[in-house]
């Protein structure tokens, strides 16, 4: 069955929330579907992100979420691909690659000069996917300042 990519809308919110919750669990967060749903609803409602969903039939099997980013030096718009997740049963079937291509097409159509993402160095599957899709790994130095109590 073919993979269809579309921009997420209100009708996708329930299924997308379940997948977003699984994504957050993948990164060590406790399951909290209402929180996931609220987060997504607010981002979509206020136009703060773009979520592309991958569907097979009526089932949402993957998504990517992009946030706008601006480069002062380049005086240009970019997008940060912040989230990419595919349901475990749908992995290794082209869904992630199709989502990356759709994100690229969206950013180009939006007039952006590029897309950036960050992933853990030990996330070998994701890094292999990005390399296979033509993404270039850069050696930059990131710093972070965390405001969450108890997180260092």
pLDDT tens digit string along 62-98?
Answer: 999 999 999 999 999 999 999 999 999 989 889 999 9
Which tokens belong to 60? 């949402």
Query: pTM score > 0.85 for this model?
Result: yes
Between the alpha carbon of residue 109 and those of residues 74, 76, 101, 105, 113, the distances in Å are 18, 14, 12, 6, 10
**Cβ atoms of residues 67 and 101 within 8 Å:** no
pLDDT band for position 143 (cuts 50, 70, 90):
low
Q: What was the pLDDT predicted at 81?
A: 93
Domain ranges of the chain: 4-132
Q: If one looks up domain 4-132 in CATH, what number appears? A: 3.40.630.30
pLDDT band for position 141 (cuts 50, 70, 90):
low
């Amino acid at each position: 069955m073919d993979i269809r990519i579309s921009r997420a809308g209100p009708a996708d919110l329930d299924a997308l929330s379940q997948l977003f919750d699984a994504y957050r669990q993948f990164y060590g967060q406790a399951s909290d579907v209402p929180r996931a749903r609220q987060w997504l609803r607010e981002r979509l409602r206020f136009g703060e992100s773009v979520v592309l969903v991958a569907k097979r039939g009526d089932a949402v099997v993957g998504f990517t979420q992009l946030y706008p980013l601006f480069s002062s030096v380049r005086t240009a718009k970019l997008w940060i691909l912040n989230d990419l997740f595919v349901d475990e049963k749908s992995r290794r079937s082209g869904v992630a690659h199709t989502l990356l291509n759709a994100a690229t097409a969206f950013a180009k159509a939006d007039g952006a000069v590029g897309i950036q993402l960050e992933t853990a160095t030990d996330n070998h599957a994701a890094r292999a996917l990005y390399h296979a899709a033509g993404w270039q790994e850069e050696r930059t130095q990131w710093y972070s300042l965390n405001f969450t109590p108890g997180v260092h």
